[in-house]
C-alpha cells in the first residue's frame, strides 16, 4: 500500500478494528510492520516507580484520560509506561534544570518551578501524602477507591484542598502534564501505543510533508499517522 | 589551569546569525578569525535529519535544542522590591545554544521596523508632544537612520532567503503587499509562501473590514534559492516543525542554511565549540580589550584567547551578561538613573483571539513558522498616541505554525482540563481552531533592566544575570486597544466560539507559559554615552575594539520579531568595521 494523497481515510477502519496492530489483508512494507504487542501493563517491571507508586499512576491516569467513550484512554495507550520511563530519565531527575539553592518553594506560582525537588522526588513524596489524605477523607488509598470518588479526590488535589506542602504543590500539574505527554508523544517513548491518540484526533505524526496539501482549504487531510520509527496507524 | 592560545585578529563570541555574518564578512578582509561557541556543533545533516528531528517530546516539550538552565539561566523579579528567583526550568523564553544558536530554532518571521520606530522619541515628541511619554518610560532614538540601514536590510533578506510580497518599493505602493512598510529598494528575494486556510480566512475578513492584508514575510523558501555565498535553499514542504526545531529540508533560513558551510571553507576562519566565554579581558588602562577567557569543556580548563578585535555575537541576554561580568561600561542603577549596562531591557506584548469553527477543517499540522497573512493597519505608524493614550502598535497575523498536540491544543474554555470531558473535547475540537495574534511593541522603562544577581551563581561561580521586568500600563493599554479593533473582525468571521487572550491592567509577568524569545535591550545603541552602551556602529563607548551585536542593542522593542533588524544591524556594523575601523582602529564616534 502506498500513501497517495486522496486515498480514503483509514481512520474509520482503524477505529472499527479497535486496534492498531495487524491491519489484516493490507500489505505493508516490511519496515513499516507493526511491532509485536508489548508486555501487559500488569506484568510491566517499572524502571523507577515502586509498586505502590505504579499502582497510583495506573489508577490516576485511568481517570485523567478514561477509557470509556470515544477515543482511547491512558491505559490502552500505555501512558503509565511513558511516565515511568520519563521519571527514570533526565526529566525525572531535573537534570536540565537549575536546581541550586536557596529555594523559595512557597513563591508565587507565576515564578515557575521553585521547589528543591525533582519531578521524580515529587511523585515519590506526594503519592503517600495523597494516599493518606484519601484514606482519611474517603476511607481507602486512591487506587482502591471507586471511579467517582477518585475523580472527586483528583479534583481536590487539583484545587489543593488538602493544602499539600509547597515543595509538592506542582504534583497535580506535572501528573496531568506527563499524562498528556504520554498520550501524545511518539510511541518510542512508551505511551501513545499504536499511535491511537494521534489516530483519534487526526494528527498524522511524523509524516512531515504537506506541500500538495497546503492549498487544499477546508478539506480534511485523509492519511493516518506514521511514527518516527516507521509504524503506520 | 589556564592555557593561552595563539593570537587571532578577531574573536567572535557566539556562532549564531551575527557571529556567522561577522565571520564571513570579516574573513573577506583576510583576517584570522575565530568563533567561540559555548554549545555543541550542529549541522542540517546529521543533526536535523528527518525523521528524528520532528520529535515533539524531545524538542518541542523537553527543549532538546535549547540551552539548559542547569548551564546558563537568569534570575527574575517583577519589581525593585522583590527578591529575584532563578528561571529554573524553561517557560516564557527559550534560549538557544550550539552552532546556529536561536537562528536554528526560530519561526522565520522576518521584518523591518516601521519608520517611526527608528526615531521613536523624536517622532513622539514632534507629532504628539513630549507630555504623552509617561513617567518612567525611557524610549530613545536609534543613532542611525532607516535610510542608512536600508541596504543592510536588503542584504540580510537576500542572504537569509526571505519569501514575501513587497508593499512599498522606493515609495511606489504595490498591491497585495504591506502598504505601510518602510520603503524598500527591492522586492523580497523570493515570492510569498502559500497560506493555509486559516490565513486565507483572516485575509478575506481583514479586507472586508477595510484592512490591508499581505502574506507573512519569512525565512521559509517558497522556491529553490541560491544566495550570494552560493548557499542553497530548497522549497518548503510545510511540515509544521519550525519553532523549537532545526529544519531538515534546507528550507528554513538559518546560519547553517545561509552562511556557515561557505564560511567553514575559508582557510582564515576557525570555530571552536564547547568553548564558553567567561569574560572579556581588558588592557591595564581598560581602554581596549586584549581578548577573551573561555572555559574549554573538552579539556576542563580555562583558556586565554588573545585577539585585536572582540565581537560579542551571542544571544541578547548573554551579550549583556558578558559586558556586566567584564566591567565594560558602567552598570545601570535604576535608583539614580546613572550607568548604562543593563538599561532598557524590554520584551514583547502579545495578545489574540482563538476561534473555533465546528464544521471547518484547518489541518493544523500543515504549516510553517511564518505562515499566513498579516495586517499592519494597527502598526505603530498608524496609531495616534495622543488620542489613544499609549505609545506603541502591533502587527497582526493568522497562520498556523504547527499542530503538535502535546503543546498546541487550543480548546474552548468550557472543556475541562482532564477526564471524559477533556477527551471528548480534543476529539471534537482538534483541527477546528484558528487564531489571530497581535504582536506588539514594548517600551523601555526606568525599572525594567538587567544586572548581576547578589545571590545566585552559574556553574562557573559567576554571578547569574538578574532580570527585573514587569508589564506596564502603556503596553497593556496598547494590547487592549488591539482587542477592541480585533473583536469586530473576529465576529465578522462568525466562529462557533471565540476566546480572547489579552493581558489586563495589573497583569504580572508569568514565567511559566511560553511567550516569546524576543528579549531586547541592555546594551543599547545610541548617540549619547550617558544613555547608551554602544555608538552608532555598535562599538563600545568604553573599549573601541569591542563591538556588540544582537537585539540587546535595541533602545526599546519594536512591534516586530527582531531577527530582520538584528541581521541588518550586523551587516551595517560589518560594513563600517571593514571600511572605517580596520584601516585605523579607534573610537569611530
| Chain segment B178-214, per-residue pLDDT in tens | 999 999 999 999 999 999 999 999 999 999 999 999 9
Q: Tell me the chain B residues in contact with residue A96 when contact means C-beta distances shorter than 8 Å.
A: 62-63, 68-70, 89
Inter-chain touch B423–A66, beta carbons under 8 Å = yes
Q: Considering CB atoms only, which of A97, A189, A220 is closest to B70?
A: A97
pLDDT at B229 over 90: yes
Domain boundaries defined on chain A: 1-37+202-233, 39-198
Residue whose cell numbers read 547569574: B464
Work out the minimum CA distance from B197 to partner chain A, whole angstroms.
Answer: 5
Peptide bond connecting B51 to the previous residue in cis, omega within 30 degrees of 0? yes
% of chain B residues with pLDDT over 70: 100
CB neighbour list of residue A6: distance below 8 Å, 6 or more residues apart: A222
Contact A97 B89 (CB under 8 A): yes
Give the number of beta-carbon pairs within 8 Å between A and B.
170
Among B518, B544, B575, B576, the one annotated catalytic: B518
Chain A interface test: which of B423, B424, B456, B463 (most A C-beta within 10 Å): B423
Chain A positions in Cβ-Cβ contact with residue B248 (cut-off 8 Å): 208
**Which of A62, A175, A208 should one mutate to test binding to chain B, selecting the residue with the greatest count of B CBs within 10 A?**
A208
With an 8 Å Cβ cutoff, is A206 touching chain B? yes
Q: What angle do helix axes A51-64 and A171-184 make, rounded to 10 degrees? A: 70
Mutant choice from B69, B239, B405, B508 vs A, greatest count of A C-beta within 10 A: B405
Confidence (pLDDT) at A29: 47
B399-438 burial, b at 16+ Cβ within 10 Å, e below that, comes to bbbbbbbbebbbbeeebeebbbebbebbebbbbbbbbbbb
Q: Looking at the complex, does the CB of residue A13 fall below 8 Å from at least one CB of chain B? A: no
Which of A98, A201, A220 is the mutation pick for testing B, counting most B CBs within 10 A? A98
φ, ψ for residue A133, nearest 5 deg: -65, -40
- pTM assigned to the model: 0.95
Q: Give residue B586's Cα distance to chain centre.
A: 30
Q: How far is residue B464's CA from residue B72's CA, in Å, rounded to a whole number?
A: 8
> From A173, which residue of chain B is nearest by alpha-carbon distance?
B417
Q: Domain coordinates of chain B in residue numbers?
A: 3-581
- pLDDT-derived band at A37, boundaries 50, 70, 90: confident
At residue A33 the predicted structure's pLDDT band, cuts being 50, 70 and 90, is: low
Residue B252 predicted with pLDDT over 80: yes
Q: Which CATH architecture has domain B3-581?
A: 3-Layer(bba) Sandwich (3.50)
B85·A111 Cβ contact <8 A: yes
Between these two residues, A14 and B321, which has the higher pLDDT value?
A: B321
Looking at A13-17, A71-75, B528-532, which range is the least confident one?
A13-17
Residues B480-504: what's their mean pLDDT?
98
Q: Say yes or no to pLDDT of B2 above 90.
A: no
The pLDDT assigned to A36 comes to 79
User: Does B360 sit within 8 Å of A218, measured CB to CB?
Assistant: yes
* Beta-carbon separation of A186 and B56 below 8 A: yes
Is A202 touching B (CB cutoff 8 A)?
yes
A220 touches chain B (CB under 8 A): yes
Nearest-Cα distance to chain A for B563, in Å, is 26
Give the per-residue pLDDT at B1.
60
CA separation for the pair A21, A37 (Å, rounded): 8
Q: Yes or no: say if A48 and A30 are a contact pair by the CB < 8 Å rule.
A: no
How far out from the chain centre does Cα B375 lie?
Answer: 20
Given a cut of 80, whether residue B568 has pLDDT beyond it is: yes
Distance from CA of B110 to the nearest CA of A (A): 21
Quick check: A34 pLDDT over 90?
no
Determine contact: A68 vs chain B, CB below 8 A: yes
Over 70: is that where the pLDDT of A10 sits? Answer: no
| Mean pLDDT for all residues in chain A | 89
CB atoms near residue A43 (< 10 Å): 7
The predicted structure's pLDDT at residue A2: 38
Mean model confidence pLDDT for chain B:
98
Contact between chains at A109 and B512 (C-beta distance less than 8 A): yes
| Of the candidates B386, B509, B482, B440, the residue with the CA atom closest to the CA atom of residue B134 | B386
Rounded CA gap, A64 and B357, in Å? 26
In this predicted structure, what is the pLDDT of residue B440?
Answer: 98
What's the average model confidence in pLDDT over B561-571? 98
Q: Which residues of A touch B434 (CB under 8 A)?
A: none
Q: CA of A233, closest CA in chain B: separation in Å?
A: 16
The DSSP letter of residue B331 is B
Look at residue A8 and tell me whether its pLDDT is greater than 70: no
Residues B22-31 have pLDDT tens digits of 999 999 999 9
What's the mean pLDDT in A16-27?
39
Q: With 70 as the cut, is the pLDDT of residue B480 above it? A: yes
Q: Which residues, other chains included, contact A18 with Cβ-Cβ below 8 Å and sequence gap of 6+?
A: none
Would you call B321 a catalytic residue per the annotation? no
Which residue from B minimizes the CA distance to A230?
A: B51
Using CB atoms, pick whichever of B52, B361, B422 lies closest to residue A220.
B361
Do A220 and B52 lie within an 8 Å CB cutoff? no
**A214 to B420: CB separation less than 8 angstroms, yes or no:** no
Identify the closest residue of chain A to B464 by CA–CA distance. A98
Q: What is the rounded CA–CA span in Å between residue A19 and residue A22?
A: 8
pLDDT average, residue stretch B3-11: 98
Largest CA distance in chain B: 72
Of B55, B88, B365, the CB nearest to A112: B88
Interface test with B, best of A77, A214, A222 (most B CBs within 10 A): A214
Residues of A in contact with B362 (CB under 8 A): 218
Q: So what's the ipTM on this one?
A: 0.97
A92 interaction partners in chain B (CB closer than 8 Å): none
Cis amide leading into B414 (omega within 30)? no
- H-type alpha helices, B235-340: 255, 261-264, 316-326
Check CB contact of A78 with chain B, cutoff 8 Å.
Answer: no
Average pLDDT over residues B276-297: 98
On chain B, the residues whose CB falls within 8 A of the CB of A198 are: 405
Amino acid at each position: 500500500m502506498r500513501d497517495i494523497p486522496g486515498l480514503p481515510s483509514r481512520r474509520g477502519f482503524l477505529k472499527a478494528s479497535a486496534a492498531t496492530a495487524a491491519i489484516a489483508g493490507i500489505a505493508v512494507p516490511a519496515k513499516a510492520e507493526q511491532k509485536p504487542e508489548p508486555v501487559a501493563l500488569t506484568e510491566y517491571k517499572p524502571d523507577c516507580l515502586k509498586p505502590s507508586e505504579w499502582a497510583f499512576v495506573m489508577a490516576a491516569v485511568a481517570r485523567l484520560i478514561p477509557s470509556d467513550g470515544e477515543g482511547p484512554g491512558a491505559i490502552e495507550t500505555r501512558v503509565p509506561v511513558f511516565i515511568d520511563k520519563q521519571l527514570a530519565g533526565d526529566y525525572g531527575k531535573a537534570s536540565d534544570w537549575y536546581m541550586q539553592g536557596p529555594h523559595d518553594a512557597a513563591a508565587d506560582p507565576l515564578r515557575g518551578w521553585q521547589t528543591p525537588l525533582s519531578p521524580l522526588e515529587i511523585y515519590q513524596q506526594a503519592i503517600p501524602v495523597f494516599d493518606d489524605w484519601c484514606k482519611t477523607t474517603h476511607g481507602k488509598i486512591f487506587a482502591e477507591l471507586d471511579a467517582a470518588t477518585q475523580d472527586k479526590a483528583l479534583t481536590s488535589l487539583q484545587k489543593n484542598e488538602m493544602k499539600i506542602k509547597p515543595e509538592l504543590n506542582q504534583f497535580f500539574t506535572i501528573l496531568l502534564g506527563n499524562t498528556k505527554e504520554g498520550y501524545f508523544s511518539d510511541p518510542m517513548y512508551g505511551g501513545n501505543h499504536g499511535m491511537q491518540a494521534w489516530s483519534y484526533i487526526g494528527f498524522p505524526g511524523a509524516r512531515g510533508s504537506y506541500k500538495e496539501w497546503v492549498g487544499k482549504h477546508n478539506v480534511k487531510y485523509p492519511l493516518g499517522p506514521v511514527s518516527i520509527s516507521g509504524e503506520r496507524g | 589551569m589556564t592555557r593561552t592560545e595563539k593570537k587571532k585578529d578577531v574573536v567572535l563570541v557566539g556562532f549564531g546569525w551575527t557571529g556567522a555574518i561577522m565571520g564571513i564578512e570579516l574573513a573577506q578582509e583576510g583576517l584570522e578569525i575565530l568563533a567561540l561557541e559555548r554549545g555543541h556543533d550542529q549541522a542540517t545533516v546529521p543533526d536535523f535529519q528527518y525523521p528524528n528531528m520532528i520529535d515533539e517530546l524531545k524538542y518541542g516539550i523537553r527543549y532538546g535544542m535549547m540551552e539548559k538552565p542547569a548551564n546558563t539561566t537568569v534570575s527574575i523579579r517583577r519589581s525593585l522590591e522583590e527578591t529575584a528567583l532563578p528561571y529554573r526550568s524553561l517557560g516564557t523564553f527559550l534560549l538557544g545554544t550550539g552552532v546556529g544558536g536561536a537562528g536554528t530554532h526560530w519561526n522565520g518571521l522576518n521584518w523591518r521596523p516601521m519608520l517611526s520606530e527608528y526615531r521613536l522619541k523624536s517622532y513622539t515628541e514632534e507629532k504628539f508632544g513630549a507630555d504623552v511619554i509617561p513617567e518612567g518610560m525611557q524610549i530613545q532614538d536609534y543613532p542611525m537612520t532607516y535610510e542608512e540601514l536600508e541596504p543592510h536590510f536588503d542584504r540580510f533578506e537576500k542572504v537569509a532567503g526571505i519569501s514575501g510580497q513587497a508593499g512599498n518599493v522606493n515609495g511606489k505602493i504595490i498591491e497585495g503587499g504591506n502598504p505601510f512598510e518602510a520603503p524598500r529598494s527591492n522586492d523580497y528575494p523570493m515570492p510569498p509562501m502559500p497560506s493555509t486556510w486559516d490565513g486565507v480566512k483572516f485575509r478575506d475578513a481583514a479586507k472586508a473590514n477595510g484592512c490591508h492584508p499581505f502574506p507573512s514575510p519569512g525565512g521559509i523558501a517558497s522556491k529553490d534559492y541560491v544566495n550570494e555565498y552560493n548557499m542553497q535553499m530548497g522549497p518548503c514542504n510545510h511540515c509544521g516543525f519550525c519553532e523549537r526545531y532545526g529544519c531538515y529540508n534546507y528550507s528554513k533560513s538559518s546560519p547553517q542554511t545561509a552562511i556557515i558551510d561557505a564560511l567553514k571553507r575559508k582557510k582564515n576562519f576557525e570555530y571552536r565549540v564547547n568553548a564558553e566565554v567567561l569574560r572579556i579581558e581588558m588592557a591595564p588602562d581598560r581602554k581596549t580589550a586584549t581578548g577573551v577567557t573561555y572555559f574549554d569543556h573538552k579539556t576542563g580548563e580555562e583558556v586565554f584567547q588573545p585577539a585585536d578585535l572582540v565581537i560579542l555575537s551571542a544571544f541578547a541576554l548573554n551579550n549583556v551578561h558578558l559586558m556586566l561580568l567584564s566591567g565594560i561600561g558602567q552598570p545601570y542603577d535604576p535608583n539614580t538613573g546613572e550607568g548604562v549596562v543593563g538599561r532598557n531591557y524590554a520584551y514583547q506584548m502579545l495578545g489574540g483571539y482563538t476561534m473555533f469553527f465546528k464544521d471547518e477543517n484547518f489541518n493544523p499540522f500543515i504549516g510553517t513558522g511564518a505562515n499566513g497573512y498579516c495586517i499592519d493597519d494597527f502598526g505603530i505608524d498608524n496609531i495616534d498616541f495622543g488620542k489613544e493614550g499609549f505609545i506603541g502598535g502591533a502587527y497582526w497575523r493568522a497562520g498556523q505554525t504547527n499542530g503538535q498536540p502535546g503543546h498546541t491544543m487550543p480548546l474552548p474554555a468550557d472543556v475541562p482540563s482532564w477526564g471524559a470531558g477533556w477527551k471528548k473535547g480534543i476529539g471534537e475540537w482538534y483541527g477546528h481552531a484558528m487564531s489571530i495574534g497581535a504582536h506588539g511593541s514594548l517600551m523601555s522603562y526606568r525599572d525594567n533592566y538587567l544586572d548581576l544577581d547578589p545571590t545566585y551563581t552559574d556553574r562557573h561561580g559567576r554571578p547569574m544575570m538578574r532580570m527585573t521586568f514587569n508589564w506596564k500600563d502603556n503596553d497593556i493599554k496598547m494590547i487592549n486597544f488591539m482587542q477592541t479593533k480585533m473583536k469586530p473582525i473576529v465576529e465578522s468571521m462568525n466562529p462557533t466560539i471565540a476566546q480572547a487572550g489579552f493581558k489586563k491592567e495589573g497583569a504580572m509577568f508569568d514565567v511559566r507559559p511560553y511567550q516569546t524569545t524576543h528579549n531586547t535591550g541592555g546594551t543599547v545603541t545610541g548617540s549619547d554615552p550617558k544613555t547608551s552602551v554602544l555608538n552608532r556602529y555598535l562599538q563600545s563607548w568604553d573599549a573601541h575594539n569591542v563591538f556588540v551585536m544582537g537585539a540587546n542593542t535595541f533602545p526599546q522593542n519594536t512591534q516586530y520579531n527582531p531577527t530582520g533588524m538584528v541581521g541588518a544591524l550586523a551587516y551595517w556594523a560589518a560594513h563600517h568595521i571593514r571600511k572605517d575601523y580596520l584601516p585605523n582602529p579607534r573610537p569611530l564616534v
